[in-house]
Structures are given as C-alpha cells and as structure tokens.
C-alpha cells in the first residue's frame, strides 16, 4: 500500500469526503486518525509563509486547528490533488470560509505535507504557500 493510499484509508472517514467542513468534531476525528498511524515522535507544523508554529502529537493537531478555526464562522476544504514525493504525500487544497466578524468570505489556496517514515506518519505540515509546501515535501525525505 502506498502512503497516499494509507493516508486516504484513515483520513477519508475522519474528514467525511473531499470537501470537508472543518469544525471541532472533524478536527478531533482527524487527530485520532493521525494518532493511529503516527510515530511516537510525531510533530505538526502550521506554516504561514516564513513563520512556523510547532505542535507535538495528536493533541497538538487539535490545538493547532483549534487556533486556526477561531476566526471562522465556517471553513471548508476542497481537496484538489494528492501527489507522492518519495515517501511524502503533498495534498493541495483550497480553504474556503466565512469570518465570524464581518462575514467576510475568504478563499486561500493551501497545502499539507504528510511526511512518512516507512509506514508511519512522522510529521504533517499545513502550508498557506503551495510552492513552499512542495519544497518541504521534496526536502523532508529522511
């Protein structure tokens, strides 16, 4: 089984499809799914251009996404593409949401880099810059 297949096997039920509505329940299921395939030293990075905030373990995923979801009344992902780069999986997405204050509609091309060590997930990085995510997927090989 490839790492993209492994990732889809555990994440698809947690996310509820290719256009999940992100809320606390989805984040909790996503974190549990990540925990089921993660290494003991698993880390998560939220990368906004030149700034990376680091989190540890499945609980760190919950904390990271809790912070990210705070300004939104509603946030959906549109999953566009999965690409294997060595052992890593690059997932291209669009984030589409509405802010809590002012009801501003936001659409942001984004990406996630799922970094594996063999069959176990060792790190995930959520990026606002797709080119930076692709570079991370290429350089994140162990």
Output the domain CATH number for residue 23: 3.10.450.50
Q: What H or E segment, with its residue span, contains residue 77?
A: strand 72-85
What was the pLDDT predicted at 1? 86
Segments forming the whole domain that contains residue 47: 3-139
Distance of CA 19 to the CA centre of its chain: 13
Global pTM reads 0.92
Q: How many residues does the chain have?
A: 142
Give ∠ CA 28-122-3 in degrees, rounded to 5: 90
Chunked mean pLDDT (size 10), the chain, 142 residues? 89 81 90 95 93 93 92 92 94 95 94 95 96 91 59
pLDDT value of position 142: 57
Residues 6+ apart with CB under 8 A from 120: 37, 38, 39
Tell me how many domains the chain contains: 1
- Alpha carbons 71 and 110: distance in angstroms, whole number: 17
């Amino acid at each position: 089984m490839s790492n993209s297949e492994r990732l889809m096997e555990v994440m698809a039920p947690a996310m509820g499809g290719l256009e999940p509505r992100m809320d606390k329940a989805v984040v909790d299921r996503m974190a549990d799914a990540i925990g089921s395939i993660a290494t003991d030293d698993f880390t998560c990075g939220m990368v906004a251009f030149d700034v990376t905030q680091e989190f540890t373990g499945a609980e760190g995923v919950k904390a990271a996404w809790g912070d990210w979801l705070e300004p939104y009344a509603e946030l959906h992902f549109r999953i566009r593409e999965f690409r294997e780069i060595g052992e890593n999986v690059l997932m291209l997405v669009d984030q589409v949401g509405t802010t809590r204050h002012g009801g501003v509609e936001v659409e942001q091309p984004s990406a996630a880099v799922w970094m594996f060590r063999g069959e176990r997930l060792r790190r995930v990085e959520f990026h606002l810059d797709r080119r930076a995510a692709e570079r991370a997927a290429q350089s994140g090989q162990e």
